[in-house]
Chains A and B, each alone.
Chain A
């Protein structure tokens, strides 16, 4: 067996299971006596519920029960809670209207759950759900940001005036205004960050189970964070104490953020299982996923940069409208604020920044974090703005970035928007990326493409993100209603094999491999003797789960802390067995040795002694070799990088092809380069999807027009180029591994690189900006308008 430690591209341990169909997903779980739930959803964007008649459904064959919002209300079932509170500019808290599990009084978006049928078969449940007679009184809908903010707009929540959830700001407005007043030049850009629908490969599913003997509940669910679901659902919705509620998130087929949140269906099946005293399963079909999984992005922004005569950034002023959808999803309010506006310094030393954000309710599916969550929106804004500055001032797009970069010797660097960057080297990352993309040779490639009748463009994006989420005290002061530490339990078994229990959750990231490599590196145990366990509140002490590229930086750090304790205890046991002082024991490659001698004990000898403590310092030490650690990060981590996209546009159809893509990312120390490469490539695929293809479209009345794969354009393999991935490393200074996180960088850095390339390709057409997705028809209409420059020639 070759090298398996930190830095080795070990094949993923979990893949044999996944690729051979032996994964165990929520829908694979079937409990004895299980029933099936079908949810009757609103087909109206906005309507008052006049009456719900379930009589026919109740009498259908196989139907066990039918429940509506009124039934849940009668039992004081709580609404779905929001995990983050934002405050308005005036200090008052955001509007936080109730989010009933099943609609009460009104429906507020197409897909809003109204009633549930529990039946012996899925078929019977669906048949019955269709027969529920709901009398709706249709109301006009506020289907998009502008319409929802218009005077006299229909109110999504009667009690929320103007549909305004909050009006928040960050930064020093007076300083920014003063900088604008003396600027040599101001460049302004209005842009939209298009709404996306995550579409994990595995649709959401949930199985609620109730043990009649113990009265305990179990929820199996497609979640990225089972402990968070237990906390939210148990404490706020169903009022079940933690000791009576187990939440299991088994193999999960992708999440991208959409499986962080506590969804109505989880509460429905758990509660219904208790009511009917039998297990209840619900599995979304793809159409349901489109209208019930939280969507992502959906911003409208105006940004202005003040510049001096040399092109130095003096101040940035940003005003953003952010769509919350019809209800506040679990983390929705923090996405366009603390995960967005705090990133507006980017990699630049802009001394003054002010951003205001209005969050708006609309009659659409709730919007929450989606891969990158706030940071792609900030990056897109900044990196488009920098290119537009170059366009408007005639500056070189690379040079203006270099001029404004935070220099490599300026760390730690305090931005004007709260964050303190710990490390980075943006010039080096840019240099590596430009070289890898053969930026210098682009002009030749452009001319060659022109001979083929194609417009070729190149675009770069130099981004930063904040992840490794997050220091609990900091986020608490910003409105988080949870801590964001992580927990690890490391159990060395008597014969020296190891089980690691982690609060992180793997739903495609390869944790079973990466974490095993980490344990191998620290304890010297072979990979095949290391098991990583996650996703079950009955097995893991506690955990905040996986999102915000936090698993290695926070979860991995907790493991290191726990293993430090293992080694410290092991040294004491070794000292006893080797008749030496614990201070003289060294631990390396799985062996405890007396310094300067050849006397040593292997880890499995130490673990055996710990569990069979015949010759053991039992007076001073407890038996056993198992340690738990919680790790609360001291700061966010700050991956950064440079993405270079090269595109060609078909001048007859307007269709853009990404022909070359280079991603150079600084993700800190890399444990498994192959997994990092895969994570970056997956993120870039989604970023290219956002830039060129994906768009969640609602009509003016609030109907979702892109509600299936026939109309929502997910990128396919043949939409994507070869994505070259490289890393340029500076270490995180405040976690024990020096890691930063790699799960989201691809989706954050790539959209502006692609759009910058598209705009560059269209430079002869006088194009300054194009909205995402840059589709064929959109570009065709630009081409139709003609080339202003050439026309004048």
Chain B
């Protein structure tokens, strides 16, 4: 690690202020991405603003929505009876992230703000049409994710909570990178009265994306067979030593069908 100064503000406002005034400042949530990056000297923040004391944890259910505080850990989401009851796909997704240690440190807000193209949570947020609440505003998931490691968040803007509409059905399936265990293809499918939303993470060069052709077919007929004939173009998908873009394109169909089968 390079040297940096460290702050641990006690409120969101204080944290946001610290981040707003210094473009080289970095927010630290669970640290499951930032700490390894710092250790490898791939990032050189002037100040690390630790969000551990700002609160923002907890899960609440109101009406037809589940709201999860940004600093809520994956383990908490995975174990929550509310999440398991209302959005089982989301609880399952959280239960598969990283390993036991990561799930007890990593947070939903941290994952969404980072928008790693191979992170799991963006698929859930996008498919569930979540609303990302910050210290400044509310952002719809469709506007939030803006490409690899890029979001609508501005400097000094912190996610405070995420509200997920409760779908009729939901499921997550992921095909893991055998080494890193991040998704090579992760598919979250959510069936709402208004239609089906299906988001894919891990595959796209620009991060998470919705598969509109599949959504249309599934809105008409929510079954794996409905998307059996739909192929995903390989162009625009990632290619690396673990999976070619063609293999990823193929897996988009396989994993989507499995997600639908699980939800249906």
Contacts and interface: CB of A to CB of B under 8 A. Distances in A.
Interface string A633-657: 0000000000000000000110000
A709 B99 CA distance: 14
Contacts of A709: 179-180
Interface string B214-250: 0000000000000000000000000001111001001
Chain A interface main SS type: loop
Contacts of B2: 127
Interface residues of B, number: 19
Nearest to A693: B178
A777 B180 contact: no
Given A287-B40, A652-B254, A697 B241 contact: yes
Given A693-B178, A711-B180, A713-B178, A706 B251 contact: no
Given A127-B2, A652-B254, A780-B250, A712 B179 contact: yes
A319 interface: no
A713 B180 CA distance: 8
Given A777-B247, A780-B250, A711 B179 contact: yes
A780 B247 contact: yes
Interface string A11-49: 000000000000000000000000000000000000000
A131 interface: no
A685 to B, nearest CB: 15
B244 A775 contact: no
Interface in A679-720: 693, 695, 697, 705-706, 709-714, 719
A386 to B, nearest CB: 29
Interface in A756-782: 775-777, 780-781
Contacts of B241: 695, 697, 705-706, 711
Nearest to B179: A713
Contacts of A693: 178-179
Contacts of B247: 776-777, 780-781
A777 B243 contact: yes
B179 A653 contact: no
A128 to B, nearest CB: 13
Interface in B163-178: 175, 177-178
A287 to B, nearest CB: 7
A19 B1 CA distance: 29
Contacts of A285: 39
A697 B242 CA distance: 11
Nearest to B40: A287
B244 A777 contact: yes
A123 B178 CA distance: 33
Between B2, B179, B251, the greatest number of chain A beta carbons within 10 A of the residue's beta carbon is seen for: B179
Contact of A653 (B39, B40, B175): B175
Interface in B149-202: 175, 177-180
Contacts of A652: 254
A194 to B, nearest CB: 13
Contacts of A706: 179, 241
B180 A710 contact: yes
A706 to B, nearest CB: 7
A710 B179 contact: yes
Contacts of B178: 693, 713, 719, 775-776
A127 B41 CA distance: 10
Listed residue (A126, A697, A719, A776) with the most chain B CB atoms within 10 angstroms of its CB: A776
Contacts of B243: 776-777
A144 to B, nearest CB: 14
The listed residue with most B CB atoms (<10 A of its CB), out of A126, A287, A780, is A780
Interface in A94-144: 123, 126-127, 130
Contacts of B3: 123
A678 B102 CA distance: 29
Nearest to A126: B41
A422 B120 CA distance: 57
A719 B177 CA distance: 13
A780 B253 CA distance: 14
B101 to A, nearest CB: 14
Nearest to B184: A776
Contacts of B175: 653
Interface in B19-77: 39-41
B227 to A, nearest CB: 13
Contacts of B244: 777
Nearest to B180: A710
B88 to A, nearest CB: 22
Contacts of A130: 41
Contacts of A781: 247
Contacts of A719: 178
A653 B3 CA distance: 45
Nearest to A778: B247
A712 B175 CA distance: 17
A709 B179 CA distance: 6
A556 B243 CA distance: 48
A35 B150 CA distance: 42
Given A706-B241, A711-B242, A777-B243, A653 B254 contact: yes
Contacts of B180: 709-711
A695 B179 CA distance: 11
Nearest to B255: A653
Interface in A464-481: none
The 7 closest A-B pairs by CB, nearest first: A713-B179, A710-B180, A777-B247, A713-B178, A652-B254, A697-B241, A711-B179
11 contacts: A130-B41, A653-B175, A706-B241, A709-B179, A709-B180, A711-B242, A719-B178, A776-B178, A776-B243, A780-B250, A781-B247
Interface of B: 1-3, 39-41, 175, 177-180, 241-244, 247, 250-251, 254
Given A705-B241, A777-B243, 14 more contacts: A287-B40, A652-B254, A695-B241, A706-B241, A709-B180, A710-B180, A712-B179, A714-B179, A775-B242, A776-B178, A776-B243, A776-B247, A777-B244, A777-B247
